[in-house]
Each structure stands twice: as C-alpha cells, then as structure tokens.
Homo-oligomer: A and B are copies of this chain.
Amino acid sequence: MKRIVIDMDEVIADPHAKFIEMFNAEFQLGLHKDQLHGGEISDAVPPELRHKVLEYINTPGFFRHLPIIPDSQEVLKALQEKYEVYIVSAATEFRNSLIDKLDWLNDYFPFISWQQVVFCGNKIVHGDIMIDDRSRNFTHFMGDRKLLFTSSHNVNETAFERVNTWKEVAEKLL
C-alpha cells in the first residue's frame, strides 16, 4: 500500500477564513477571501496590522474551529481504502495549535487515528505522495509524487503538479 502524507492548513483546514473573520471583527476591514489571491493573509491587511497575524495564530482556540476545505472529508475517507493516509502538519512552530489541531482532527476526521498524525517542524516524513500547499515542505520529502494544493499564496508557482480541489485529488488518486 502506498503512503500519502497530507497537510492540514489550507489543504483540509481553512485558517484564511478564520483570519478574515478575526480581522473583520476587530478592525472592520471588510476583508474578503478574493483579496488574498496571489498572496498571504499578511499581504491583504494594512502594514500596521500585520503583527496581528502572529497574535491571532498564537491564540488558543484559533485552530479549534476552522472551516473544513470542501470535499476533504469524503475524499480522505475514500483514499484510506487504497492508501496508508497520514496527516502531517508543521504545528510545532505554534505551541498553542497542538491540542486544538488534534481535537479538530478527532471531531472532523474521526477515521484518522492518533497513529496517523504527525505534528512537526521540517517534514522529514517517509512516504510516496505528499499533498501540501507549501512547496518548501517538498524539500525534505523523498517520495515520488508531490501535489501542490492550490492556495492563494501559491497560485503563481509552476514547478509542481497542481491540484485545485479535493475533487481533483480524487480524480488523480482514486
């Protein structure tokens, strides 16, 4: 059985939606996700508010109730019939994200066991296929196939095989 390693943020969980909600609630920016196209959340807010990105992301609870990326639950469940599935998230950068991320997975992906979860810094995992929105995470990955999951900040990257949606992942891998 081949092994797929799958990222969390901007792949199965949507922190952008949460950032936008928090910025709009605190500063009435009227931000919309289309404004992120081609960049990061920090590019979409006024320079004097950029420090709030780190403040928000370090807030306990930030990662606890993130929206789910469409179709990720159904497709992951189906992938698990054909592959060893692992969730691999660069979570150790944010201390307060760890428990929130595990609880979130238990709630929304209950078919993923604790054995299948990796919270790390550098993604030094061993597998065959990686699905991630950050091409820097492909650096440490020795597997055959790297699928760049489309997110606003990577729309201009062309070096990797791209998947725009979980329906496209299903077409390629199921």
Contact = CB atoms under 8 A, between A and B. Distances in A.
Interface string A115-143: 11111111011110000000000001010
3 interchain residue pairs of minimum CB distance: A115-B121, A98-B98, A118-B120
Given A119-B118, A119-B119, A95 B86 contact: no
A93 interface: yes
A113 interface: yes
Contact of A114 (B93, B96, B116, B117): B93
Contact of A120 (B96, B120, B140): B120
Contact of A125 (B3, B95, B103, B125): B125
A174 interface: no
A53 interface: no
A126 B142 contact: yes
B118 A124 contact: yes
A131 to B, nearest CB: 15
By size class, the interface of chain A is 20 to 34
Contact of A119 (B3, B92, B113): B92
Given A126-B126, A126-B140, A92 B121 contact: no
Contacts of A116: 121-122
B127 A98 contact: no
Contacts of A17: none
A119 B98 contact: yes
Nearest to A119: B119
A31 interface: no
Interface in A37-58: none
Nearest to A122: B115
A148 to B, nearest CB: 20
